[in-house]
Structure 1
Amino acid sequence: MAAKTDQLLIVVSILEGRHFPKNPRLSLMVQASFDGEQLATDPVEHREQPQFSTELAWELDRRTLHQHRLQRTPIKLQCFAIDSVSRRRESVGYIVLDLRSVQEVKQEPRWYPLLSSKYTKQRPALLLSMLLEKDTKPSEPSPDRFKAKKAPPRQGSPAVTDLLPEQLEATLIPDQGYHQVGPADLCSDMFVLSVTVAFATKLEQLIPSTMKLSAEGSEFFFYYSLLSNDITSEPFHNLLSPDFEPERASVRIRSSKQILQAFLSQQPGLEIHLCCGNHSLGSTDVSLSALSNVSVDLETKAATVEGAFILVPPKRIKQTLPALPADLQPTVGVAVTLRREEVKPQVHTPGKRKPPASSSPAPPLPPASSHTESEAESLLEELRHREDLAGEAGNVTPAAEGAASSVSVSAPKVSIPSSAHHFCFSWTSAASGTSFFGSAAPIMTNPPVELQRNTEVSLPQSYCAFDFAALPQQLQDTFLRVPLVVEVWHRDSTCRDQLIGRASVQLSHLLRSEKSPVMASTGEEGWRQTHQDRIPVVTSHPAEKVAELSYVATLEDLGLVRAREVIVSDSSQVRQECNKPANLAPLDPTVAPRDTLEYRTALELELWKEEQEDLFDDQLRKKELSHMQALAEEWRRRDREREALVKKKEVEYNVLEEQLQKTLSDLERREKQMAEAELETQRLQRELRAEHDLTQRELQESSRRLQQDFDHRAALERERVRLMEEERGRLLQQIADGESRYKQLEKEFQLYREQQNVRPEFRLQSEINLLTLEKVELERKLESTTKSKLHYKQQWGRALKELARFKQREQENAMTRLKKQQAELEAMRLRYLATEQKEAVQQDRQELDDIRNELNRLKQQEDRLGPTSSLSGPAPSLSGPAPSQTVNESADEHLARLLEERDTLLRTGVYTHEDRIIAELNRQIQEAMRDRNL
């Protein structure tokens, strides 16, 4: 089984620590948390350099890793000190690791100091290393899925990706027109990597308010680099409504699926810049990690990354821009597609942007089951095709010789496919703005009507119809995907027109309506669909309902289009007459002048001239209308620019106004505080001045008193000095006398020492000193031995406790075995008693049978002897005891045996009166005594 190259392991190695205080009562443990999952090391000794030597790992794929890097998800390591007795843990400090610094290349471990550390005297730190590894384990889940383990060696040939270098590169093959990724012998498939920039919104938010949006000569374009090929889009001038066609840049890559996915997983994100000249106004990063997903089968599908990505301005511009809400963020629509090349296209230089003209050959499309590249691009291609069918101008072709027509020979022709149908769409309501069917002229109701609250009015001239040719599938797709937008405007003579709101009409309801047959002018049968509805008119910001619009929409299918080429004229009505051959005849005087051929020819010539004049006038009016529409469109564009600038400046002014209000409130608060502080300062100055005057007077008075006191003290000191001088002379005389006495005593002491040295007491004193030293050494050894004894005593106590637990456990086991044996003995005894009782019952039955037999025999004898013998005397006595006596003796023996057995069991000390066997014996004893009494 091949390894999953998109599955990764984030491995954090916690090696050791330093600068921890030694505490034998505590232990250290490090707990790591990432994305809601927590892993922890085993507790280690709390010493100066604890040794953890543990690896903690989290499993995730590349897409999730990229999302965590974009969101800057941290890895938090928290160190705890655990009390070995109470098992209470206390946080020592924590470390936050940046996920963006994790690389697939092994790095040297580094020391990370603990933040918010409990130990303030020292600065504890942990030695850590981080590594991003490919998860090579099988796909089956295992209980230890979060532990980083090496995959077992695989049997057989190595995988293709194992033979590749660590860093793959795309090499351009100029003569073949493609890039090659990987070794040539392993690359047999051709792929197409396409990047489409489809649309952009809110680009004006990237421009500071001090810069003009429509500066002369300023062109904006998108730039990105695709496999070292610089790609730029077609320039556009309007940031408010960027008018550029979606462009797709494609490169052909020769590789294999595994190698290409490994190559894309190594590539950074695709950076797309909005540029103006040589300056980048904003950029976005499109991740390519989804293209390397092994779950996508490139044999039948295409891997796609698409969406609207937020453009981030550079730091120098971002500092000058205010914070924007989510709905005002500038975005660009991008679609990146990777697919297998089905049909070999024409060879072209890789990375070169294709022209946007519709006449260029379209690239090969992916299968129907693959992902679509972009809704904007598909819509653009559909609109182009529909415009080509409905009336796009083509090459100018002159009319054929001998043909006479009312249409100018410079009129363009449009080719219509043979499978196209003639459709007629009619609409009854109000519409303003660009038509849904490709016409640039606005279709409006006229004249304006007054609309009052809670009233309903009819809009004059609200009916319009469109005849066009299209394929049925194109018509259905367009009606299902593109709504018809109706705008409601307010017109006033004192100001310019204002947009009230918009209503979005879903034409899919029209397709689901009931079809009714209709007869076309050509005699073919068609069908008609009609839908009537009432829709709300909603404002833009904020979205509020201001009115309701009632409309009726009709779609007629008039069958296939007969003509294959349609001549498009600028006139509102197009007429075409076939040229009939003119047979000139001699003038007949009997014929009226109006009936002659010359008169008819002159009349047709005059009519043709008038028609040409009308056509010329219509062309002039249409040119004037087009110029007026261009001016109106330019005016509306500039008005939108001004409106956007006003909105943007209004947002900025609101932010500045809030800041100004906050600043003014701060200034008022500070001014009030300053006024209060000034009053407090004046009060303090008055108090300090009064206190200073009082202190000055007190100082003067105290100075006078101190002066008098010092004068008195000086007199006393002078008298004391005189007395001290006298005392000094007396003491000097005493010192001289003492020195003479000291010298005399010293001589006597020296003599005494010499006498003492020759005595035995001196030697004894020396021996006493040696014995004292030995005593101190022995006491030190005794203390050490006592400590060792205490330690061994503690160990012996632990051993005794362990032995006691073993004894208790053995006693419990012995009691369990004893109870089991007692239960077995009790069961055996009960079986024995049952057997014995059964035998006693059988014996009693046997005795009863004997007695019954004896009675029967006696009865028979009595019957034979007759009544005389019975009256003659008492019955002869039977040999042996009476039956009742025999039964009583047997009951007494049984009762004695039960009593003896119960007393024997009680004397063993194992059984008590509450045991079941003793209770059973008591019951049997009571029954035996009751039977005996009977």
Structure 2
Amino acid sequence: MAAKSDQLLIVVSILEGRHFPKSPRLSLVVQASFDGEHLETDPVEHREQPQFSTELAWELDRKTLHQHRLQRTPIKLQCFTLDSVSKKKESVGYIVLDLRSVQEARQDPRWYPLLSSKYTKQKAALLVGTLLENDSKAAAASPDKIRAKKAAPRQGSGPVSGALPARLEAQLIPDQGYHQVGPADRCGDMFVLSVTVAFATKLEQLIPSTKKLLAEDSGFFFYYSLLGNDITSEPFHNLLSPDFEPERASVRIRSSTQALQAFLTQQSSLQVHLCCGNRSLGSSDVSLSALAAAAATADLEAKGATVEGAFVLQPPPRSKLPALPAELQPTVGVAVTLRREEPAPQVLRGKDPSRAPPLPPAVAPTQKPAASPPLPPSSFRTESEAESLLEEQELDRKLAGGDEGDAPLRHPEGAASSVSVSAPKVSIPSSAHHYCFSLDLRSLAKLATPYPIAAMLRYSYQFFGSSAPIMTSPPVELQRNMEVSLPQSYCAFDFAALPQQLQDTFRRVPLVVELWDRGSSSRDQLLGSASIQLHQVLSSEKTRLGPAGDPGWRQTHQDRIPVVHPQRPTERVAELSYVATLEDLGFIKAKEVLVSDSIQDECPAVPQSSSHPAAPKPSLLPPAPQGPGAPPAPQATRDTLEYRAALELEMWKEEQEDLFDDQLKQKELRHMQALADEWRKRDGEREALVKKKELEFNLLEEKLQKTLCDLEKREKQLAEAELQTQRLQRELRAEHDLTQKELQEASRRLQRESDHLVALEREKVRLMEEERGRLLQQMADAEARYQQLQKEFQLYREQQNQRPEFRLQAEVNLLALEKVELERKLESTTKSKLHYKQQWGRALKELARFKQREQENAMARLKKQQAELEAMRLRYLATEEKDAVRQDRQELDDIRNEINRLKKQEEEKLGPAPAEPDSAPSLNLNESAEEHLSRLLEERDTLLRTGVYTHDDRIITELSRQIQEAMRDRKL
């Protein structure tokens, strides 16, 4: 398992929103803040479900992440509304994300409601996803870069053949010198991705006014990372007028069109940094998605896809530089090109191929590695061998010409870069031809501007060996409806190249001629440009330069082409007439030449680039080689080698004398020019500092005025907020009253339902009481029969006292049988009564619990008073009940005493023998009366203890009446 990368990316995906009110005049922006750094999404339409679809990322290492998690550093997402008319920005809510919940495993996005939301009627929310990614390819020299990079895929986890993986990566193939994007079985084409840093303006705005604009030590340079390779430009030391050659860096990519477009779409952007030492002063983003969109519609073989322009350099977030207007913002000119590489033929033993892709115009074919670690041997082999040969030849032309500065040269084998500036050696292959191209810009006509201009033409074509621009001088006055001739507009170029290489370059790279207005009152102004298609020269008729057998050919093409506006290609500015001539002087004999600044004209095999105001320079090349079997031709005196050598020696002497005089003059001019340039530079620095200070003061004054306006707006907002608060209070009060009414209505409804349920239960109790009354009536009838029997028994007893003993004994036996039967019936009745009594008691208890629960719910507000009244009532009832029970017990004791007294009297009357059989029935009757009285007392006490009945209730009154009757019967 691979080790985890130390560099991480915290990625926050803001996908969409919901429950937002629709507002056509406003836009929505989400600002993410973490550790003092702020990132924003692009403004989107303010509708119910806004679509953001944006990823924001912060770069940090694992140690810093651990510290932030310990400190619980939050990630705050703040949502703003942006007024398109007044540009007013207002907060509508925010979201706080916990950093500890961000994990490396991908999680499903979640809906987060906005806190302190402005939209109170709707619960607005954002769909947000978080992820912690590895960033193993993060560049150490770009501290402000926040672009996410995925690690290389693991072995064995590739996609199924025929389908592209979800995340494409560029893998370096060291032994082949290219990067591979996509599955190997689907990568059949070779592409070239080129990045050109051309120019820069207003760079001094990135430096605070308290610091100097000059970099005395390491200088300033541009830095960017191309597929993991660090690229830096040539250092320069003056921000006011940055002087550096346009440089191109290219990488070869093996892929398919579909996979390469998907790969570029997944890349966020290419960041170009302006650096000083190891510090980034500003950065600009070049969208690679736009390059993928352009590649989808462009012809990658013929023209290629290009994204170019002047991109604004943004200072780092912590630089605290003031905001600048659009005309003072620093910019950098960047062009990103993608084209399909044509398959080159096989090269045997290091020989030059017959064809090679040409170089784009105005781009120096140089390439510099980063100042940090050197690149691997094949990681930056970006051109074919033919391109490497062409770069060597072009650099040798610069070194031999003496008019260009030293330029670094990349080794053709792709090894470590080196710069050779003293006595370089140039190897010219035998298959190369000596060419002479001349261009005569004859006239300008059909001016479209209403005012006259001081016209001057300018062009450069680096394939000819020089990147220095060619200009017509002096400027000519051009007016509408007239045609003027251009003085000193003829220029010829001598160079060596392969025929196929020349044809490919002329077909693919046009020569662009710029039309400038050099007015006296203002600076030079670019009016338009014209493209000369050089391949038309190749299709013209060929004519021989000399007699038959001479290998030289000449092709001439004459045409009139329109000069179009630089921003509006369909608008014609003027018309240019020109004559282009190409001369092929035949093969150049292969040799190795030592180039020197002092004898560069003596090296005929070294390709030269020269400008001729009148006529082309005579050729100094050796004659074409003759065939091995050809007979020697007769030569004239002027055609002999000695004559030509002497003529060349004389011409060389004259040239050396002129060159010596010119060098003295040029040295004097250079010294004077250096003094003037230094004066202008320092004057420009002082002027720039004064302008910068004035701009800062104006910005501070605008900021103060803006602050005053904000304070006034804040006072108005506070007044509006106070009115809104009062309105909200009224609304809350009305809502509270409405809620109170609803609660009262609900309480009344519950009271009615409770009363209805109580009425139903009372009806059930009434039916049960009727049933109980019926049972009590039956018991009363049984008691009446029992009393009647008891009276008959007393009468019988009296009669028995008067009759003989045997008759009395028979009646006693008969009465004993009846007594047993009556006792059985009484026991059965008692059991039935006890069963009904238990059922009735449970029903009463259930009714009491229900009634108590309903009373508690219905009379919650009077609970305390009811509890006190109930307690007083219970104490009163308990006291009364105790008195009644005490009185009943006293009466019962009296009755028992009376019964015992009567028993003793009757025993004394009857005597010991006859009284024994009569004592048992009398005793049983008394005991039955006592049990009946005790049962009635217990039933009344049970009902009173339930708390449902009082002494005034009908059932309690009936029980008291029966108790009084029982007591009277006992007294009898």
Tell me, yes or no, whether TM beats 0.5: no
TM-score range, shorter chain: 0.3 to 0.5
